[in-house]
Amino acid sequence: MELGWLLWGTAVLLLLHVLMELSPSVNFALRIGFYCVLCLVASGLAAAACLLVNGGRTVKNMRIIRAVVRTFKYFFGVRFEVKGLENFKVEGPAIIVSNHQSILDMMGLMEVLPDNCVQVGKKELMYTGTVGLITYLGGVIFINRKSTSSAKMVMSEVAKTMVAENVKVWVYPEGTRNCTGDLLPFKKGAFHIAVQAQVPVIPVVYSSFTTFYNPKTKLFTSGKIKVEILPPIETKGLTSDDVTDLTDRCFNTMRETLFRLSGRPSEAKDSS
Ligand SMILES: CCCCCCCCCCCCCC(=O)SCCNC(=O)CCNC(=O)[C@H](O)C(C)(C)COP(=O)(O)OP(=O)(O)OC[C@H]1O[C@@H](n2cnc3c(N)ncnc32)[C@H](O)[C@@H]1OP(=O)(O)O
Ligand SMILES: CCCCCCCC/C=C\CCCCCCCC(=O)OC[C@@H](O)COP(=O)(O)O
């Protein structure tokens, strides 16, 4: 009986292996499917640990989530080369902005996430089963992207609470995933919060995934991600009139860094 199961299991694994070798789209679908299952299972386990250790929704749970997600890279052969971690060592709260390429970014996020830091996320994430539960327990700030006024209200509230509670807030200013090797124009919410709260902006840049991950061509192999945490940009004394300049400055610095880290020649043109 047990031998039968073993033979069936081996046959299924062999079949999957052959399919993966033969078809890049099967390979891609299986690897992404595995990533999603891993997220769902790991979130369930992490949620239990968070509830047992901290009892409910708190930024302290991010330490547990970070420890769990940091193991994911070993399953996918993803390696990180991190520079500039010392730039996170600013006193008190800050806004962290980074480029956003894929759902795989959760690995890169947790690889460098400082203590006492929560992310801004789309509210739809709440409805992704255990992943929704873990984002809730970790203190993720949910925004409704379909309603500018409600998103702006939530962001303004964040500007007040982040100072009162001494937390850093991680925002993806492109507002959506973008795996083209370039940046989308930045939305200004993150920079409004930074100016309203008078806290520094810390840019974080991940090199382009396109050499090892590309959903369009169904490419997903192992690969190296370079991460650079750039020096904080101060906002003390800035007003809402300076938000556009601050956004452009950050965009240009991050775009240059993205091209440098990805080995792509820089373009002279200013795309702001
Ligand atoms: C185990 C596995 C998983 C574990 C995971 C755990 C971690 C999970 C992590 C999850 C990660 C999940 C990651 C994700 O889910 S990423 C997706 C969700 N995140 C974002 O969208 C963040 C970036 N977006 C923004 O910042 C947008 O600006 C918002 C959303 C705020 C509005 O966007 P919208 O498109 O609706 O409008 P608009 O940007 O055209 O702005 C309109 C006007 O309003 C002005 N304005 C904007 N804001 C403010 C303000 N505060 N005070 C005053 N004014 C403000 C602005 O300057 C503009 O005016 P003008 O300049 O044109 O005159
Ligand atoms: C009971 C309901 C079950 C639902 C099951 C849903 C399955 C989902 C399983 C795993 C998902 C793993 C996702 C990890 C978290 C990824 C966060 C993320 O990267 O969100 C994307 C968001 O930044 C931008 O979204 P868009 O590019 O605008 O779109």
pLDDT-derived band at 268, boundaries 50, 70, 90: very low
122 Cβ inside 6 Å of ligand 2: yes
Atom 21 of ligand 2: nearest residue by CA position: 103
Per-residue pLDDT, 90? 86
Domain boundaries along the sequence of the chain:
2-261
Could you tell me the distance, in angstroms and rounded to a whole number, from the CA of residue 242 to the centre of ligand 2? 34
**Model-level pTM greater than 0.90?**
yes
Is the domain spanning 2-261 CATH 3.40.1130? The answer is yes
Start-end of H helices in the chain: 2-22, 24-54, 61-69, 72-76, 105-112, 130-138, 148-165, 189-197, 243-261
Parallel/antiparallel/unpaired status of strands 117-122 and 141-143:
parallel
Which range, of 17-21, 90-94, 195-199, averages the lowest pLDDT? 17-21
- Nearest atom within ligand 1 for CA of residue 175: 21
3-state secondary structure 16-47: HHHHHHHCHHHHHHHHHHHHHHHHHHHHHHHH
Q: What is the pLDDT of residues 35-87, one digit of tens each?
A: 999 999 999 999 999 999 999 999 999 999 999 999 999 999 999 999 999 99
ipTM score: 0.96
106 Cβ inside 6 Å of ligand 2: yes
Atom 13 of ligand 1: nearest residue by CA position: 121
Residue of 40, 118, 152 to test ligand 1 pocket, by largest number of atoms within 8 Å of CB:
152
Residue 204 pLDDT more than 50? yes
